[in-house]
Amino acid sequence: MLDLPCFSPKDCPGGGALACCVNFTAAGGEVTCRPPGACLADMAYIACETDADCPLSLPCTYVTEAMGKPFSICGMLGVPTSQSAP
């Protein structure tokens, strides 16, 4: 499966079937469309625009501005999505 690049969930095809997964690396990071379960299994973050984009009732948390737009993730930076659930 080819991972498509994304910035927000709206960039991913499938009407919510794919999430915009964020994996930080030494080089900066990789943001690609993948099934939400794959993001969670890889302990990746999920990019979001609103709380409704987030699994497990996590809040959508602003991180930074990128390409002139706000960039947010589900949960908190420093705690991968799979570990952020209450």
**Which band of pLDDT confidence, cut at 50, 70 and 90, is reported for residue 39?**
confident
The residue ranges of every structural domain in the chain are 4-77
- How far is residue 57's CA from residue 22's CA, in Å, rounded to a whole number? 18
The tens digit of pLDDT for each residue in 54-64 reads: 888 889 999 98
* H or E element in which residue 31 lies: strand 30-34
Q: Higher pLDDT residue, 30 or 25?
A: 30
**What gap in Å lies between CA 85 and CA 12, rounded to an integer?**
24
Instruction: Please enumerate, as own/partner, the contacts of 12-18 that have beta carbons within 8 Å and a separation of 24 or more.
Output: none
Q: Is the pLDDT of residue 33 over 60?
A: yes
What tens digit of pLDDT does each residue of 67-85 get? 899 999 998 877 655 555 5
